[in-house]
Amino acid sequence: MNILGISAFYHDSAAALVRDGEIVAAAQEERFTRKKQDFDFPINAIRYCMAEAGIAADELDAVAFYDKPVTKFARILETYFGVAPRGLRSFMMAVPLWMKQKLWIPLEIEKALERCDIKMPGDVYFPEHHESHAASAFYPSPYQSAAVLTLDGVGEWATSTIGHGRGNQLEILKDIRFPHSLGLLYSAFTYFTGFRVNSGEYKLMGLAPYGQPKYVDLIYDNLLDVRDDGSFRLNQSYFGYLDGLRMTNDKFADLFGGPARSAESDITEREMDIARSIQVVTEEIVLKMARYAHEITGEKYLCLAGGVALNCVANGRLLKEGPFEDIWIQPAAGDAGGSLGAALMVWHMAQKNERQADGKRDQMKGSYLGPEFSDEEVGAYLEQNNYPARKLEGEDWAQELARLIDEENVLGLVLGRMEFGPRSLGNRSIIGDARSEKMQSIMNLKIKYRESFRPFAPSCLEEKVGDYFDLDRPSPYMLLVAPVREDRCLDLDQAQDIRTRINQARSDVPAITHVDYSARVQSVSPDTNPRFYDLIKAFDDRTSYGIIINTSFNVRGEPIVCTPEDAYRCFMRTEMDYLVLGSYVLDKKVQPEWAEKADWREDYVLD
Amino acid sequence: MGELQDKMTGDSDNADRLRRVAAATWAWRAAGQVTEAPREAGTVRPALIQVAVMLVIVAILYHFEHMLIVKIVLVFATVSLVCGLFIPAAYRRIEQFGQFLGVMVGSGLTWILLLPFFYICFTIGRLSQLIRGKDPLHRACPTDDATYWIDRQPITRDDYYKRQY
């Protein structure tokens, strides 16, 4: 049975294909349209999923959309009933879109399938938004039974849920409802500190370690009321998202001693302290919720999804201080993953098919669920365009790349299937030497063109994670933050100036050690990505360091590259030294001159 | 022998898969091909259709003796016909202007229809809620509730997953 899962119309549209319970393909629309967080109907992602699965015109059995659109529309109308006569501008923006498109999902699906030459199946399903998230967390997890926690901005009404998964059954037990939302609270602070809502949240998280938690009491005393079980209500008199187009209002600004920071202006100590404070509050709420989920389900394991589950600092703390023996986080925890969850929900709950988890391995295939391109295809492309490249095979490939990294070159890497979710896990990555003191600054300013405070993540041989980090288990999806081992850290004077602090070497792997001596770890296994593993292993053999920097292959505001052509374009626009396309290695110095008519940076909206 | 055959079948399946994926997601071959430049869309047919529509309007207006508007529409019809037949570039400009006008009229109508709807429907609804002391958004904060978690009702309907609500 082939089930197509779709998420669309909010942010990060995506499609996923599940065949007889197995995840065959999944991809975000932005990767194909090159429009960051594209929310249009994911026609290109659907076309890819169909091609990957080799589905003929009449072989699609069911489609699952990741939420219930009519309930969501009812919530929006009810919100206007709650705030009128305010809210006109938001109403005028939202309602025409709903009338034109969002209320006619089956029609949109039919049109999209027609464009892919696929016959519309008779069955179209609509699980709830948080059910889709919960399903994306529980069904692919290694656990036969687990508590399930979902946290995001808002779905239909729910903003957080606690669920219980057993075998093929998944039941949502409790929820917290709009407008009280941990995701929206975090987004409000993202907005207030001058970053873009729905994309700048991870910057706020990255900024937090630079500050002090000065505003924690202020937040608890004024903005929210939290119970011991982690449930909470937000004091709506400080927020603007119910009736306007801003996340916070003037009262919120007065509380924090001035207006919101404007985008791209200097980051001050206030923003750092605010970032740290809301991060602390978020972590405390997540911990309380997890304890309560443990209490009411009695489970040993926890599965997490929803946008807030991408807060890997909170995840790291949950693993360390929480009541669960282990946790599993859906790598595409945001709305994109809802497409996968919806399809799995249909397979297990609507179709009542059994599920067997082995307690060890998850079903995500390393999250390498996107398109891949053969060496033949890449070779033909390079030849046609006269791009000089060397083809390396066998052990030479890994050894040569290890040498290039050791010489402090920055490499763009395109291997195998593209990752599903916001993290690059070695197949669409920019990599470099984690031992280099100048690498963080080079990568941020000359390659990614992004804010200098932002940290880089390490990819580490799975068996060596414990040698570098205070972490006793794999972290294959880069969703856990762990401290760098104390014996690797250097004592520093705590300089106040952010630039001074960024440039200080903090450990023997300075490029991946954040200011609080932590790192967002990816452990690399030979089972899920043998080529990437071989590369790091070769680097380890050469340098005795089984660890490298790994950041997503894009520049600021650009979606992660998908095809070798996207990668070549990004490579030539930045100061990367080498590009690796499968077995082909391209040296920037010998490439033909790259000319563009317009300033390409204008193509991307800064996040 | 069997193993070798399986491997060959597997390799062939994988090659097919990669070809399908490349064809669906990376159109560099198609982009590299020299294709015939797309022909510009004709202007004669749309111009004739427009003129026909305008003549119908003229007939109706003539019947009701709105002679000034009849003359204006006839001028538009003549300009459209001449441009459509002989000056395509000018016709396309007219078309662009028509599209712009369409968007403006559409936006205007949206506001004309939705603005009164918003104030009449939602403001009255809000007043009604205030009078009855109801807040469906449960905004009160803090409250005396022991918890803010809300219990979910078990799913009982068979068609639950097929419903959009």
Residue A239 has pLDDT above 90, yes or no: yes
CB contact under 8 A, B137 and A78: yes
Residue type, B138: H
Mean pLDDT estimate for chain B? 87
Q: What percent of chain A has pLDDT over 70?
A: 98
Q: Measure the CA angle with vertex A41, ends A20 and A175; round to 5°.
A: 70
Quick one: pLDDT band at residue A264, thresholds 50, 70, 90?
confident
Instruction: Report all structural domains of chain A as residue ranges with CATH numbers, in order of start.
Output: 375-603 (3.90.870.20)
Q: What is the mean pLDDT of residues B71-89?
A: 91
| Helix, strand and coil percent figures for chain A, each rounded to 5 | 40, 20, 40
Q: What is the mean pLDDT of residues B33-47?
A: 65
Instruction: Find which of A47, A160, A374 to mutate to test the B interface (most B CBs within 10 Å of its CB).
Output: A374
pLDDT at B32: 58
Mean pLDDT estimate for chain A? 94
Q: Which tokens go with A151? A: 């946290």
Pick from B15, B29, B165: which is nearest to A70 by CB?
A: B165
Length of chain A: 607
Pick from B28, B111, B147: which is nearest to A229 by CB?
A: B147
Q: What is the mean pLDDT of residues A135-163?
A: 97
Residue A67: closest C-alpha in chain B: B164
pLDDT at A499: 66
Any B CB within 8 A of A560 CB: no
Among A532-546, A570-584, B88-102, whose mean pLDDT is lowest?
A: B88-102
pLDDT at B12: 80
A178-193 pLDDT, tens digit per residue, is 999 999 999 999 999 9
The torsion region of residue A445 among left (phi > 0), alpha (psi -120 to 50) and beta comes to alpha
CB contact under 8 A, B122 and A234: no
Among A36-40, A467-471, A500-504, B147-151, whose mean pLDDT is lowest?
A: A500-504
Across-strand partners of A305? Answer: A150
Q: What is the mean pLDDT of residues A10-23?
A: 95
Q: What percent of chain B has pLDDT over 70?
A: 87
The stretches of A116-198 forming alpha helices (DSSP H) are: 129-138, 182-192
Top-ranked range on mean pLDDT: pick from A69-78, A497-506, B133-142: A69-78
Question: How many CB atoms lie under 10 A from the CB of residue A50?
Answer: 25
Contact between residue B44 and residue B85 where contact means Cβ atoms under 8 Å apart:
yes
Would you call the peptide bond into A85 cis, given omega within 30 degrees of 0 as the criterion? yes
pLDDT at B13: 84
pLDDT at A505: 84
CB contact under 8 A, B24 and A47: yes
| Cβ-based contacts of A233 with chain B (< 8 Å) | 138-143, 148
Which of the pair, A523 or A603, is modelled with greater confidence?
A523
Task: Give the CA dihedral B119, B125, B126, B132, nearest 10 degrees.
Answer: 160
Q: What is the mean pLDDT of residues B110-132?
A: 94
Q: What percent of chain A has pLDDT over 90?
A: 87
pLDDT at A414: 98
Rounded Cα distance, A90 and B51, in Å: 41
pLDDT at B38: 47
Instruction: Find which of A49, A81, A129 to mutate to test the B interface (most B CBs within 10 Å of its CB).
Output: A81
pLDDT at A599: 75
A476-487 pLDDT, tens digit per residue, is 999 999 999 999
pLDDT at A498: 66
Residue B4 has pLDDT above 70, yes or no: no
A337-389 pLDDT, tens digit per residue, is 999 999 999 999 999 999 989 999 999 999 999 999 999 999 999 999 999 99
A265-282 pLDDT, tens digit per residue, is 999 999 999 999 999 999
Q: Could you report the predicted ipTM of this complex, rounded to two decimals?
A: 0.92
Instruction: Find which of B103, B137, B162 to mutate to test the A interface (most A CBs within 10 Å of its CB).
Output: B137
pLDDT at A600: 72
Residue B35 has pLDDT above 70, yes or no: no
| Cβ-based contacts of B138 with chain A (< 8 Å) | 177, 180, 233
3-state secondary structure of A110: helix
Number of A to B CB contacts under 8 A, please give it.
167
CB contact under 8 A, B148 and A565: no
Pick from B118, B137, B151: which is nearest to A79 by CB?
A: B137
Rounded Cα distance, A259 and A273, in Å: 15
CA dihedral for A182, A365, A8, A64, sign (positive or negative): negative
3-state secondary structure of A408: coil
pLDDT at A606: 67
Tokens 């938001």 correspond to what residue?
A90
Going across the sheet that includes A326-329, the strands are: A326-329, A301-305, A145-151, A158-166, A169-177, B150-151
Residue B5 has pLDDT above 70, yes or no: no
The stretches of chain B forming alpha helices (DSSP H) are: 2-25, 28-32, 44-63, 67-86, 88-117, 124-132
| DSSP 8-state secondary structure symbol assigned to residue A394 | T
Burial of A497 (0-12, 13-18, 19+ CB in 10 A): exposed
CB contact under 8 A, A227 and B148: yes
pLDDT at A496: 59
Question: How many CB atoms lie under 10 A from the CB of residue A557?
Answer: 16
Pick from A84, A171, A173: which is nearest to B118 by CB?
A: A84
Mind giving me the DSSP string for A33-53?
A: H--TT--S--HHHHHHHHHHH
Residue A163: closest C-alpha in chain B: B152
Rounded Cα distance, A472 and A357, in Å: 22
Pick from A81, A235, A349: which is nearest to B129 by CB?
A: A81
Residue A298 has pLDDT above 50, yes or no: yes
Tell me the pTM: 0.91
Question: What is the enclosing helix (H) or strand (E) of A72?
Answer: helix A69-83
pLDDT at B37: 47
Pick from B114, B122, B138: which is nearest to A84 by CB?
A: B122
pLDDT at A22: 97
CA distance A481 to chain B (A): 29
Residue A104 has pLDDT above 80, yes or no: yes
Residue A447 has pLDDT above 50, yes or no: yes
Rounded Cα distance, A128 and A186, in Å: 23
Question: What is the enclosing helix (H) or strand (E) of A321?
Answer: helix A312-321
CA distance B140 to chain A (A): 8
